[in-house]
Structure 1
Amino acid sequence: MAKWRLSTPMVATLAALCCFLVYFRALGCGYVWFDDPDYVINNQAIRSLDWQFLHWAFTNSQVSLWMPLTWVSLAIDYHFWGLNPFGYHLTNILLHGGNVFLVVLLADRLYQPVTGEPETSMSHGSLFRGGMLLAAALLFGIHPLRVESVAWITERKDVLNGFFALCSMLCYLAYVRGKRADRPGCQLWWFYGASLLWFICSLMVKPVSLALPFMLLVLDWYPLARVRSGEIKRLLLEKVPFMVFSVAMVVISLLAATMQGSFTSVRSLPFAMRCLVAGNGLFEYCRLMLFPVGIVPFYVLNMAALTMFIVKTVIIVLFTGVMVFSWRKRPWLTAGWLLFVLPLLPVLGFFQNGEQAFAARFTYLGSIIPTLFVPLLATERGTGTRKTVLLVATCLVLCWYGAETRRLIPVWDNSGTFWSRVIDLEPLGRAYQERGLYNFDNGNAAAAADDLAAAMEIARANGVLGFNLVAHRGKVLLALKRYDEAIVDFTEAIAMYPDPRYCYQRGLALQSLGKFAEADKDFQRAAGDTRPIKWIEPPP
């Protein structure tokens, strides 16, 4: 009886289709008022595809990053879809599905030297091998940590960067395979040049892929087995062009972030504390990779949990030591750990940017190859029974991942669902504040008043209550005709920052209560400034 045989493109297509079905729900998501306005809604630059736009895209670093190809991608979407979020989400899902397709091809190539199969045997393989490739791709593609990268329009840069990085790795593997087959030099250098070009493109989307040359060196060691005595220098020379562009991107990124003032100062966060932040972040990334429960779209750096940061950092250091010293017996463990950590180094806290401690989206590139190594457990002294048990267990895990991913996608429906998720798991003052503003803008003033009251209570407890929050709560109370309470809030806001608009709004509340003389004084102080209250950047 003939064995079932599956071609690699068939498996890749099936994996991409499964991902599209899992993420189909994201097509109904809208915008999240957290970076989406800067990237799309209020970004006038992307509304044209001309030379002026290209000049802007390649010379602008308005979000502390130089990412011209991300802007080009969003401009193309705007050309076809305008501000309809459907099109942007569709592009994200298609790009992610394409990445999953490429992940199958990458797994196919990387499994060859491990399983000992000849280069020519990979176009068609056994049903078990097809299951390995499919499981590897889906472990990456439908993992709940991918939701943030796929369902958030702003994170177009993750899926697009992943596409270019995967193309670069595949071309590099074709180059290595050609060298082993003694192909003509022109063919080899075409693949090498293509790999370098795709790498440069990935950097122009998001600089996280600057670790790629070091990842290629790890792959040279395992599973490609290219690291031999006397050949290390040649392998390093191969990576020099890649490293040159990595260094250039580091310089550009540092300059852009410095000009925008986005780095947390060393005085505010000393180096020792940054190491603890990095250790905590890496620990959480590992935990969420294995047990993706409690994923929050906004993690705030909380140095009050310093003891736990120390404990987690110690665990990570010890775990890293175990992984490194396993390089002889289980090289796939060492390689998998290095390939996971390297892309995370730029975002681990050593260059702390803003108040976020870590983010699910940062795992996109670093998760690709380590998840490919998981199915190799079935090939390590694997009997038929062991293979069956591992595949069944993998299927159960994938069902769980898929269900959890589907459950998390609605978090990205709008700002209300986004901040509600944060409040459910980490009731931050900012989360109540942002949800309150969202509720008011969408006609739910009563809910907005409750949220802003909660935000003010938390801010007062932390000693950071600002005039913006108080004034906005006053605006909401005025809309609810709770005039006495509105007057109290506007009076407090004026004491902190005497903006004419606050005086005008308090005058309206006083007038509604029949206190015309006091209202006239406020109207005089407002000097005709009847503009609506907006969030005001405090003076330096």
Structure 2
Amino acid sequence: MARWLPGLLVTAVTLLAFLPSLQGEFLNWDDDENFLFNPHYRGLGWTQIRWMFTATHSGLYIPVTWLTLGLDSVLWGMDPRGYHLTSVLLHAINALLFYRVARRLLAAGFATPPHPALSPAGGEGIPAPPPPVGGREGSDPASSPRRVGTAGPSPRAGAGTATPSPPRGARTPTPSPLRGEGRGEGSGTIAWAAGVAALIFSVHPLRVESVAWVTERRDVVVGLFVLLTLAAYLRAWREGAAGRLHRGWYWIAVSCFALALLSKSIAVGLPVVLLALDLFPLRRAAARPGAPAQRLLGLAAEKLPFLALAAGISAVTLGILMNERLLASRESLDLGQRLALTGYGLAFYLWKSLVPWPLSPIYTLFHPVLPWSARYLIPAGAVTLLTVAVILARRRWPAGLVAWVSYVALLMPVLGLFHSGPQIAADRYTYLASLPLALLLGSGVAWCWQAGRAGALSPALARAVGAAAAALLIGLIALTTRQIAVWQDSVTLWRHAAWVEPASDIPVFYLGWALVEKRRLPEAREHWSRSLDRVPPDLRALRARFVTEIGVVEQRAGDHAEAARRFREALALDPAQAVAAIRLGLALSAQGAGAEAERAFAAALPLVIGPRPPIWELRAAIAEVPVTQPEARGRLAFALALRLQQRGALEEAGAQYRAGLSLLPRHAEAWNNLGVTYALRRRPDEALEAFLQALRIQPGYPEACQNARLAAQALGVTPAEIESCSPGHG
């Protein structure tokens, strides 16, 4: 029981700390887009699985994560409590897995190294005691007793060995009451230190965003498979011989890594982590023949399957981001600015790991990025000094360098070099990167406890370290509980975010939308009016957006005349406000002014295709256009679909084309465009049918002719509809 107690404690504490998140709702921070308005993931049938493995929803390719969410939909329907429960259980499993991984790595780190320079204490700290006579290195001294004070052979020694008597007056070491107090994996010290490391990871407030936000299920799923990869790799090392990895466990590790990448591509840096672990604490380079450079190359070559998988998913992810125009362009961020953001991110996450309050769902990236300003120079200087320090201390403290390299490698995909989104940083990005930092703190606790027992450190001080670790964990749990309460609902979340970052407009908009969604209309009206008052008169486009939102509140309240007045005011401030134009049509239609409403809808068509209005606001406004006005609603849906198609959001574009065609089924151009979205998503049968439908409506339609010929050739068929095409059409 004592052997399993730390792991059980880690799992139980993690579960208890995150149980309050089960009361959370689906949030208006991507949960609505991913779950409430997305029927494609609901189930585990062939249709849903095909969608999961072909969709790039929201610019992400995460089929394994979608499988877990599909299972949730089968088990829980649309009850958010079930989704939260799955996330909490996965996180608790990850905590237990990390405990096991940490226990192995700490045992390896504190084992007697082949060279003093590789000692965790640098050869100048606590000397590693010799292994028990006749025992295996790293075995439990309590289970391998030595006779003290006798000359002659020990009962457990080999022939010709003797156990010397201690000097006169010397104290015989008192055995520890803890079972397994050695330095191996079975050591009580190692086990409890690994438990501390696992809890520092699992109950840290930075984990809340990943666990309490259903959209970030991908973090706990990728964490599961990353930790399984590490566990399998360590087993391959343990079961291997002559410096080689066990082949079976090695390929299990590769397979788990592939599943991790299909859960979230942030895991691409793991091969670098494995190579760093080879050097310390596994010390695999020392066990291999050849020159140091040759050994390192051999270890790197061993990672080729991992690197190939990482390169493949990186190419896919970058392709999706560029295709959907989600990756920051070179014009918006040059190399110097990207490097500045990278340094800022590395320092920011380290600081938040040490001081995790206040936390926010959004840390806004404010433009312009000035690399030579104090905001970016100070973090860059701190990161540079820390990097130089761990490099210089690598012989005395190799664990520090390995932890830092691992931290950087696991964060690199989400730092400024590959920037996307409105944020400069996000708590969720620390889920993997926090693992080496937590392990480093756990190793410090183990070192202090070992030093206290060896007499190199005051026993009182060693006990104080244990008390400090307990106090730290209690403090982290308290902050985590507080942060979970922030994520309970959208209104609470965005009130908190607006408090953390009052200069950002993003929490202002999301808070207003959340108040409207909750039908708290007086609060929403006051919120938008207060926000409008603080906008300078020269920022006409921003003022127009706030005025539009006030109009939406009046529309929800049933005052369509006041809503129409507000929408006209918004269009006077910014004629490109597509949402205001559509909602003006809605307000006029509700007042019975059908002709004016049709003109407003027609005026909105070219605005929808423009780059400015948010997609979800457009979709919500278009969805409110009554089906009794099919021409207006259908054409607005086609316009939104075209904009989505131009952005590379092919799946959502297809949905809008189908919605429009359900109202205007004789629209040949829309059928052709729908076929293009299918073709680009590698669904040739559906693409050909859409092209043929366009030709049935408009025989000889040039674009449809060309597209239908290409699709038919790919499928090896010759449909009769193509006969209407002239030889020059395709």
**CA apart distance, 1:534:** 5.9
Of 547, 550, 553, which residue of structure 2 is paired with 1:473? 550
**1:288 is matched with which residue?**
352
Distance 1:416 1:163, change over 3 A: same
- The match for 1:66 is 61
Tell whether the 8 Å contact from 2:205 to 2:477 is kept in structure 1 after alignment.
yes
Counterpart of 1:235 in structure 2 is 299
In structure 2, what is the Cα distance between the partners aligned to 1:527 and 1:403? Answer: 53
- Output the CA distance in 2 between the equivalents of 1:527 and 1:290: 53
The SS at the match of 1:269 is coil
Identity of counterpart residues, as a percentage? 28
Q: Could you say which residue in structure 2 is the equivalent of 1:211?
A: 269
Moved more, 89-98 or 367-376: 367-376
Offset at residue 487 of structure 1 (A): 5.1
Q: Residue 477 of structure 1: CA displacement?
A: 3.2
Secondary structure in 2 matching 1:357: strand
For residues 440 and 386 of structure 1, do their structure 2 counterparts lie closer, same or farther at Cα, with a shift above 3 Å needed? same
One-letter amino acid of the counterpart of residue 445, structure 1: L
Of residues 139, 152, 157, the one that matches 2:200 is: 139
Return closer, same or farther for 1:436/1:239 CA change in 2, 3 Å cut-off. Answer: same
Shift of 1:460: 4.7
Q: Are residue 391 (structure 1) and residue 386 (structure 2) matched?
A: no
Change over 3 Å in CA distance of 1:439–1:390 after alignment to 2: same
Query: Which whole-Å deviations, capped at 9, do the CAs of 1:231-284 have from their partners, x for residues lacking one?
Result: 222211211111111111111111111121111111011111111111111111
* 1:264-275 map, 5 Å: 264-275=328-339
The equivalent position to 1:322 in structure 2, one of 384, 389, 398, is 389
8 Å CA contact 2:498, 2:507 repeated in 1: yes
Kindly indicate whether the alpha-carbon contact (under 8 Å) linking 2:197 and 2:439 is maintained by their aligned counterparts in 1: yes
1:221 has 2:279 as partner: yes
Change (3 A) 1:165 1:483: closer
Task: Name which one, 1 or 2, has greater alpha-carbon Rg.
Answer: 2
Give ranges in structure 2 of 5+ residues lacking alignment: 113-136, 141-183, 287-291, 604-618, 624-635, 647-730
Counterpart-to-counterpart distance in 2, 1:18 and 1:532: 42
Equivalent residue runs for 1:236-251 within 5 Å: 236-251=300-315
Indicate how the Cα distance of structure 1 residues 488 and 149 shifts in structure 2: closer, same or farther if over 3 A, else same: same
- Which of 223, 235, 253 aligns to 1:174? It is 235
Call closer, same or farther: CA 1:143–1:527 in 2, change over 3 Å: closer
TM alignment of 1:441-480, pairs within 5 A = 441-457=517-533, 460=536, 463=539, 464-465=541-542, 467-479=544-556
Distance 1:344 1:528, change over 3 A: closer
Count the aligned residue pairs.
Answer: 523
* 8 Å Cα contact 2:185-2:191 kept in structure 1: no
TM-score normalised to structure 1 length: 0.89
C-alpha spacing 1:146/1:503, structure 2 compared with 1 (3 Å): closer
**Which of 371, 385, 390 matches 2:438?**
371
Match of 1:116 among 103, 111, 124: 111
The structure with the largest helix share of the pair is 1
Residue 436 in structure 1 maps to residue 512 in structure 2: yes
SS at match of 2:57: coil
The CA deviation at 1:355 is 0.9
1:125 corresponds to 2:187: yes
Give the TM-score taking structure 2 as reference length. 0.67
Distance 1:534 1:288, change over 3 A: farther
CA distance in 2, matches of 1:63, 1:415: 20
Shift of 1:10: 2.6
Q: Does 2:567 match 1:490?
A: yes
**Gap change, CA 1:95 and 1:465, over 3 Å in 2:** same
Please state how far the C-alpha of 1:494 moved relative to its aligned partner: 3.2
Is 1:93 equivalent to 2:88 in the alignment? yes
The Cα shift of 1:119 comes to 5.5
Contact 1:494 / 1:502 at 8 angstroms: preserved in 2?
A: no
Can you give the 5+ residue segments of structure 1 that lack an aligned partner in the other structure? none
1:375 Cα offset (Å):
2.6
CA–CA distance in structure 2, aligned partners of residues 276 and 159 of structure 1? 29
Please tell me whether the aligned partners of residues 472 and 533 of structure 1 are also in contact (alpha carbons under 8 angstroms).
no
Q: Kindly tell me: are residues 396 and 119 of structure 1, through their superposed partners in 2, closer, same or farther at Cα, counting changes over 3 Å?
A: same
Q: Which residue of 1 aligns with 2:25?
A: 30
TM-aligned CA deviation for residue 468 of structure 1:
4.8
Structure 1 contact 62–260 (Cα < 8 Å) conserved: no
Q: Deviation digits for residues 290-313 of structure 1, max 9, x if unmatched?
A: 111111111110235742122222
Structure 1 equivalent of residue 411 of structure 2: 344
- Residue 161 of structure 2: aligned partner: none
Change (3 A) 1:72 1:466: farther
Tell me, yes or no, if the aligned pair for 1:429 and 1:459 is still in contact at 8 Å. no
Tell me the alpha carbon deviations over residues 325-348 of structure 1, each in whole angstroms, 9 at most, x when there is no partner.
221121111111111111100101
Shift, 1:489, TM fit:
2.0
Q: Deviations over 1:189-217 (max 9, x none)?
A: 11101111100000000011111111001
Three-state SS of the structure 1 residue aligned to 2:418 is coil
Determine if the alignment matches structure 1 residue 84 to structure 2 residue 52: no
Partners of 2:554 and 2:560 within 8 A in 1:
yes
Secondary structure in 2 matching 1:350? helix
TM-superposed deviation, 1:227: 2.3
Q: Which residue type is aligned with residue 452 of structure 1?
A: W
Task: Check 1:401–1:305 CA distance in 2 against 1; reply closer, same or farther (3 A cut).
Answer: farther
CA distance in 2, matches of 1:449, 1:534: 22
Residue 15 of structure 1, CA deviation: 0.1
**In structure 2, C-alpha distance between the alignment counterparts of 1:110 and 1:234, rounded to whole Å:** 22
Distance 2:538 2:72 in 1: 43
Counterpart of 1:294 in 2: which secondary structure? Answer: coil
The answer to whether the 8 A contact 2:104-2:185 is kept is no
C-alpha distance in 2 between matches for 1:329 and 1:506: 73
Alpha-carbon distance in 1 for matches of 2:408, 2:383: 11
Report if the CA contact (8 A) 1:211-1:343 is conserved: yes
CA contact (8 A) 2:564 2:584 kept: no
Q: Distance in 1 between matches of 2:598 and 2:104?
A: 75
Q: Which moved more, 1:139-148 or 1:312-321?
A: 312-321
How far residue 484 of structure 1 moved from its aligned partner, in angstroms, is 8.2
Paired letter, 1:137: A
Q: Do residues 413 (structure 1) and 476 (structure 2) align?
A: no
Residues 493 and 222 from structure 1, CA distance in 2 versus in 1: closer, same or farther, beyond 3 angstroms? same
**Structure 1 pair 43–132 and aligned structure 2 pair: CA distance change class (3 A):** same
Does residue 313 of the first structure (1) align with residue 308 of the second (2)?
A: no
Q: Distance in 2 between matches of 1:523 and 1:113?
A: 73
Deviation at 1:454? Answer: 3.7
The match for 1:335 is 402
AA aligned to 1:395 is A
Question: Counterpart of 1:265 in 2: which secondary structure?
Answer: coil
Moved more, 428-437 or 152-161: 428-437
**Residue 198 of structure 2 contacts residue 439 of structure 2 at CA under 8 Å; is this kept in 1?**
yes
8 Å Cα contact 2:219-2:431 kept in structure 1? yes
Q: Distance in 1 between matches of 2:17 and 2:557?
A: 42
